[in-house]
Each structure stands twice: as C-alpha cells, then as structure tokens.
Structure 1
C-alpha cells in the first residue's frame, strides 16, 4: 500500500517541498535482498538509477527519518517515505479561485480538468498542490471528493483539530450539495424526479455500474430550463457514490454532455481541453459544527 502523506497518516519525517507532500509505502512480507531491489520491483516505471540518485540526495527515508541506501537490508513492516516525481507534467491551463477562507476552512472554485489530489500522471498540476503553494497552508486536506472532470465548489480543511468534525458532516449526509448539468432534453420525463439504484464497481475498474438489488444511491433531478436539444438540470445527490450523477443521468437516457465514461467508455482525450464535462458543483451548504452558523458556498462558474 502506498499513498500521499498528510491524509490522516502519522507525521512524515520528510518535509513538504514545493507544495508536494512525501508519499509512503509499507514494506510487505517478502524476500528482497535490499531496498533498491524492492523499490525497482514495486515501482517498475522508475529505474534503479533514479532511485539511487534519490537515495543519495536523502529523499528516501524510514519512519525514523534515517536515510536509506541502495544496499540497506529490506525490513518487513517498515514504512518508507519518498517523493513522487514526474518526468514531464502537462500544465493545465485553467486556474482555481479561492471563494472563502477562515482558520478552519478553505473553499475553492475548481476548474474542469484539474485533479484534486496527486495521482497517476498528475502531481504539481493538482488542486491540492497548487493551493499549498499559493497559500503556504501545508496541512490542507480535501474533506470530500470531486471528479477531475467536474468543476465547482470544493472544500478543504485547514485545521487538523477540527477536520474530523467537518468530514463527519459528509459521512453523515448532513451537507446539502447541488449540481448543475447540461444533458439531452427529455420531453417524455416529468420533473422533478428521483432516481434510485444499486451502484457497484464496473469494468474497467474506474467505471461504476447499476445492478439489481437494494438501492444504495439516490438523486433528485429537476429541470431548470430547456435549451433546444439540450436542457439545464439541477441535481441533488442524497448519497455520495462515485460517479453517481453521471451514472444516473446516463441511466435515464440523458448522459451529461461530453461524458467519456457513460453510457459508453470512450477513448481518453488526453490533454484535449476543448470538451469539458458539462457538470458543475453549484453549491454546498451545511451547519458549521464548530460555530453552529449556517454556511453556503456557491460557484462563480456557469455551464
């Protein structure tokens, strides 16, 4: 198991550098002769010369912050920290906007195409790393999810002490979330309507699918206005399944415009910015668990 540090894990012995927190990997049971052999096998995309150079610079350490050498013996159960690095990362030509900030929260308008956290081919070109660089707030942590393809309101925790209270709001469904989407006009449907279904992981692994069984997802869908062959819809998810809105709209025969996953998985567009998914996180509202104040944040973006 590996992942970025700073998402509820013990403090890292390595500092945040240029907005990027170190990643970590647990060392599983196995018979590797040394650390270098394990790392090359565990991360085949990174060659041995790169790991040797990182180790020489002190960028690979154990839980205690001890620098590891290529010949260091493999130690099952240890946690190893290192910095992710990408050979080349395409700049994403859209900027985030800070909507609100206090000592506990940072609320941001996320543009289309920008991932929230580092993963895969995205590291510096992520909302979290950009915001850490911009604000200097090294403890920033997102407290809910938003797809890379979706734009709109995104909330981050600034303060570790109060983070759990805000995360609990989302876990207990005490947050009112409203989205807007452009999708085909459906004159045969009567709005508002509620769509419920059972959603499970599909094929490929990054897609979701609906199956028979007890519903575990629910969305309230209403019509805002018709725009000839397409209409603007208001979507209010009452549950928070991955890709829920995209799956539900496609299931009703009105897939969101420019959705490359639903109803059919189409080829990846790579760095083509011309056709953003027409889905927008319009607003988020909740009762602040610290102050009791009713807070509501709305995007400045439109579809």
Structure 2
C-alpha cells in the first residue's frame, strides 16, 4: 500500500493532567519520538503485515534523518520521502496526562512542502497499490492529487481527515473508506458524536455525501461502521490505557493491513481495534505500535 502523509518529530511532555487555558503545570518527563499521522499509519500497516511505501517530506535537519531512518527500519520504501533543503522537519508538541489523555499541537514544517508534483512522481506506485492511505497533515492539494490518481486506476482509497477540516463535496465519492473520530465527524457531518446512536447519524450523513464506507471511532466506546457490507457497532477490547497517542493511527494502519489481505470489513475493524488497544497500553507514538506477532501473542482474537 502507499501512504501519502506527514512525518513529524513528537516532543512529548508527561504531566498529572492537561493544562487549562493560561495554566502552567510541572511535567514529570520529556522525550522525543518519531511520529506524524502519515508515518504512524505507514509503520502500523508495515508492522501488522503490509508492504508499504511512503510519500512525504522531511527537513534537512537532524530530525529529518531520524524520521527517514524510523521508516526504513520498518522496511518501508522511502524513495518518495523527500528531504527539503533549508527547511525544518515537522514537529508535534504533545502533552500526555496520567490517565492517557493527550493534547497535540503540530507545526508542519517540511510537511507543508508536499506538492501535487511530488505526488505525481509516485503515480506508478499509487496506480498499482492495494490501497492508498491519506490524512490531512499535508496540503489538501497533494492529498487530492493522490486520491485522483488512485481513483483513475481503481486503487481503493482510505482517508483519515485529521486534523479535521471541511472537504470539497466532490472528494467524498472517491473515498472507499472514511475513518473519523468524534471531532472529525462533527466537523465533516455536523453531528455531535457521543455514542453509537449519534455515530450512526454521522456515518449516514457522510455516506450521503458520497463516501462508500464510513467508520466512526469512539475510543474506548468502540466503533460504528456503515457501508455496502452493512452497519453496526463494534465494542473495543477493554484494556488499561497508559498513553492514547497514535491509537487512531494504529487502528487505521491495522485496519488497512487487514483489508488489503482480503479481510471482510468487520474482521478488519476488529483487527485494527485489537492493535489500537495494545498500543494504548504502551507509551509513545511509533514505539507503542505493535507487530503482528506481538498482537497475536499479547492480545489474541477472541
């Protein structure tokens, strides 16, 4: 599969809670971790069984070298991960509370330099991929070019529209799987999602816009799915969360890996949920993403 998206260096501070506006808290630790939604999803898919190529940009700084190395260490093709001269790599400032909740602020850096032309250079990869995965931490123009290319060649498209922003109406019909959380569902569908019933309304609204299959993730509350293979709610595995960073990315990558292997929709969702559940039991972004062997050993299917 091909992932078109971001690579960031995560700068993570841990604290007892999340600060309110204007509040200063003392943290309990600091670490740097390779991250970014695109890179996280690529690594999740690779560790969970898929062959993956990444399309994106990093800076010519030390972070850029580290981010590329993190991808190649998981056997991801980085031929189309460009190092942009005189540009800093993207970074994410993350605060993680004791209960695993987090807040994230992203400075895009080189991610903002991903152009439609750089996507075109990977056109053959996209045309022959089993799936294209995109998010919105890179410019929408580049995402649209990737999706247009996939649609022309019959490559299935998975879009995780994060960070949330309104999408052009004509884009929805090109999306085979749209994965949204509660925040993204409200921005795109105008529905305040808090449970399965409201997730159902949001999913139906997004399908009415043209998305073929919609998955609304509800964290510990599971996921609602709706599409040609049916609709319903799937409960999430019950675990003790340590850090929810990259849980959504792990779900998306795991779901995609299973789907490309030919898994039915519900089986792919369950696989992604198991992967995400194991990830929240660990600290960090990419460091928390399990391999297929770890998942089968530590959180096997019921």
Q: Which TM bucket (shorter chain)?
A: under 0.3
| TM value normalised by structure 2 | 0.27
Q: Which has the higher contact order (CA 8 A, sep 6+)?
A: 2
Q: TM-score scaled by structure 1?
A: 0.27
The structure carrying a bigger strand percent of its residues is 1
Report which of the two has the higher share of helix: 2
Q: Which has the larger radius of gyration?
A: 1
